[in-house]
């Protein structure tokens, strides 16, 4: 599973990763209504598509994701796993 692959790369057990992932999802769901907006019907979806097209000529886009980079100190022997590829 994808959790197994990620757990191996992060040198944690799959069960620990699974617990973390559950906590992560709970946090996302707890704050979703404040920070995440999804079109509620076809009219809103079409309006969003049109807005993206008007702004940037991106066809068929109904949303995007922004992110924040958080500096971390990775283990010296695993720095490559934490490489920022942005």
Kindly indicate the confidence band of residue 45, based on its pLDDT and cuts at 50, 70 and 90.
very high
Burial code (b: 16+ CB inside 10 Å, e: under 16) for 49-72 equals beebeeeeeeeeeeeeeeeeeeee
| 72 or 24, which is more confident | 24
- pLDDT of 10: 81
| Three-state SS at 82 | helix
Counting Cα atoms < 13 Å in the Cβ hemisphere of 41 gives 1
Whole-Å CA distances, 64 to 23, 36, 38? 23, 10, 10
- The predicted model scores a pTM of 0.46
- pLDDT of 17: 86
pLDDT in tens, 15-43: 988 888 899 899 999 998 898 888 899 99
- Alpha-carbon distance 8 to 69, whole Å? 23
């Amino acid at each position: 599973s994808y959790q197994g692959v990620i757990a191996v790369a992060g040198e944690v057990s799959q069960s620990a990763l699974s617990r973390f992932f559950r906590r992560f999802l709970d946090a996302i769901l707890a704050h979703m209504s404040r920070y995440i907006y999804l079109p509620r019907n076809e009219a809103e979806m079409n309006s969003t598509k049109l807005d993206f097209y008007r702004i940037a000529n991106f066809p068929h886009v109904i949303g995007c994701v922004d992110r924040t980079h958080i500096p971390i100190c990775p283990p010296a022997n695993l720095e490559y796993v934490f490489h920022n590829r942005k």
